[in-house]
Amino acid sequence: MNDLAGEIKQNFSGDVLADEATLKLYSHDASLFEVSPRLVVFPKVSKDIQNLVHSVTRLNSQGEHLSLTARAGGTDMSGGPLSESVVVEFDRYLNHLKEIGEDFAVTEPGVYYRDFEKETLKHNLLLPSFPASREICTVGGMVANNSGGEKTLTYGKTEDYLEEVKMILSDGEEHSFQKLNLGELEAVKNKNGFEGQIYRRLFDLINNNYDLLQSAKPKVSKNSAGYYLWNVYDKEKGTFDLTKLLVGSQGTLGIITEFKVRLVTPKPHSQLLVIFLKDLKLLAKVVNHVLKFRPESFESYDDHTLKVAVKLFPELAAKLKGNILSLGLEFLPEFFMLLSGGVPKLVLLAEFTGDSIEEAKAKAREAQLSLKEFNLPTRLVVSKREAQKYWVIRRESFNLLRKHVRGMRTAPFIDDIIVRPEELPEFLPELYGILNQYPILYTIAGHAGDGNFHIIPLMNMSDPKSLRIIKELGPRVYRLIFKYHGSITAEHNDGLIRSPYLKEFYGDRVYELFEETKRIFDPQNIFNPGKKVGSDLDYALNHIRVS
């Protein structure tokens, strides 16, 4: 055990690891980057994290330069949980679902969403903001990134469900945050100590810049960029809610140990309408047309994703958990498409729900009939098994590409852009015009109904041209987003890859308010530094994983 590990272990009941294999494993997430930590720790109880903060504060006062970066599932695509210092891993021990109530759940961050959902569905309840990585992400990561997914079109993002947060702050103490009325706010502002100071300073910051912050809020249905200062103080309702700031803060303001989320009762029946789009020029018109029929989900994946899915059919079949022969029969249309050259450019999945199967089918059928004017192939999916096939392709698309494209790897640096759906007719031709100027293969999947697309270039990162393309293409796409008043990240958050663009996105003054927010919560800069504020694009580009 090295000296730092020994120092930390003195007041820590969990595991403290610094072996080469562990450090290598935690130097990666699902992003482009590779950053090796000095130490990985696995707290058993929240007291471990309190002691960890005290230890880091003490060691820093003696000349160390330590920080703490929370991590769980490792599915982040922005480099958010990567650190050169101490990584705090939650999924080993702090993984308990503590309570399921009438319409809520209380949980620790390290619970995997797949396990969380299994338990909530026993009560006919659902946290509907799950991302496509639902099988491998944790609920703590969903809060840290303010995740959204296929049901966000109807139900909103994680920020709409977070009700209470327990968090260890830079004073080393655990604090609880929830929505306050103005009387409660005054009481907590008058408290002595760090928590009262936070409320006083945050209220003044937001109140004194209220109009500026309201105008800075991106004009799209979902956003994970920056700190959401505009959502904290609701003057009309007379509420002040710091959970609206903590959600999506990516572990930069403190370390969350427990939280309460609201749950919904899902519609019991669904009907999937599949639309095969052979010409991307029609995408904007088709999306806006189908939205009139109010699908609960409206997703998409492109021809490259479909080809990889067919190529990797055995692995896909394993995820579908069925007889490989019968599943092969279900994939016959896709095999035939490949053989005949009739692969659509984009597959759109519009899911309609209802209190009865008849209601769901009627909605889907009405939408299908209305699409005849576009002369598009469509399919009403009859069986749940066939519907699951389409959903698995959509949800697993990134992992399939990440693991199995020989000679190239996924390069998520423009992976989460969003504009308002009504802007798509003007926006998409400009976007494709930019992308097609570069010699890259890219895949498109995402949430067509929100105007949120995940564009994943496939690149050979050992080729020096790839770094040049990333340097040029990223800013060009982001400036196009600025032009259409969208967001550079709808769900995936900032991390190493997008934090450097936040000043340009929001402007100098709003960015200064982000910096002040960070100082208020974390004056010693010990929580996940270099994300949100204080970022460095050169640092990020110098830590791109080549192999």
Domain spans in the chain, listed from the N-terminal domain onward: 3-89, 97-262, 269-483, 496-542
Give me the tens of pLDDT residue by residue for the chain, a chain 547 residues long: 578 999 999 999 999 999 999 999 999 999 999 999 999 999 999 999 999 999 999 999 999 999 999 999 999 999 999 999 999 999 999 999 999 999 999 999 999 999 999 999 999 999 999 998 899 999 999 999 999 999 999 999 999 999 999 999 999 999 999 999 999 999 999 999 999 999 999 999 999 999 999 999 999 999 999 999 999 999 999 999 999 999 999 999 999 999 999 999 999 999 999 999 988 888 889 999 999 999 999 999 888 777 777 776 666 666 666 655 555 556 666 656 555 557 788 899 999 999 999 999 999 999 999 999 999 989 898 878 778 878 877 877 666 666 656 677 888 999 999 999 989 888 988 998 999 999 988 878 889 999 999 998 888 888 889 999 999 999 999 999 999 999 999 999 999 999 999 999 999 999 999 999 999 999 999 999 999 999 999 999 999 998 7
Compute the C-alpha angle 453/434/532, nearest 5°.
55
Residue showing tokens 């009504």: 422
Under 8 Å between Cβ of 12 and 49: no
What pLDDT sits at residue 405?
62
Contacts for 154 with CB less than 8 Å, ≥ 6 apart: 128, 296, 297
Rg (the chain; Cα; Å) = 23
CB neighbourhood size of 328 (10 A): 13
Please work out, in degrees rounded to the nearest 5, the angle formed at the alpha carbon of residue 406 by the alpha carbons of 405 and 409. 55
Domain formed by 3-89, architecture: 2-Layer Sandwich (3.30)
What tokens appear for 255 in the block?
């370390």
Euclidean distance between CA atoms 150 and 126, whole angstroms: 13
Q: Which pLDDT belongs to residue 132?
A: 87
pLDDT of residue 107: 98
The identity of residue 413, as a single letter, is F
SS3 153: helix
**Calpha distance 522→543 (Å, rounded):** 25
CATH architecture classification, 269-483: 3-Layer(aba) Sandwich (3.40)
Q: How far apart are CA 416 and CA 495, in angstroms?
A: 13
Contact 218, 486 (CB under 8 A): yes
Q: How far apart are CA 43 and CA 41, in angstroms?
A: 6
User: Quick one: pLDDT at residue 529?
Assistant: 98
Please check whether residue 168 is in contact with residue 184, taking contact to mean a CB–CB distance below 8 angstroms: no
Dist. CA 249–CA 229, nearest whole Å: 11
Same fold, 3-89 and 97-262: no
Return the pLDDT at 331.
62
Q: Cα(158)–Cα(155) distance, rounded to whole angstroms?
A: 9
Q: How far is CA 453 from CA 267, 442, 445, 527, in A?
A: 26, 12, 6, 30
Give me the pLDDT at residue 530, please.
97
CB atoms within 10 A of CB 232: 22
Q: What's the pTM? A: 0.92
Calculate the dihedral angle through the C-alpha atoms of 446, 137, 258, 79, rounding to the nearest 10 degrees: -80
Class of domain 97-262: alpha beta
Q: Any alpha helices (H) in 26-91, and if so which ranges? A: 46-61
451 secondary structure, DSSP code: T
Assign residue 132 a region (left: φ > 0; alpha: ψ between -120 and 50; beta: otherwise): alpha
The total number of residues shown for the chain amounts to 547
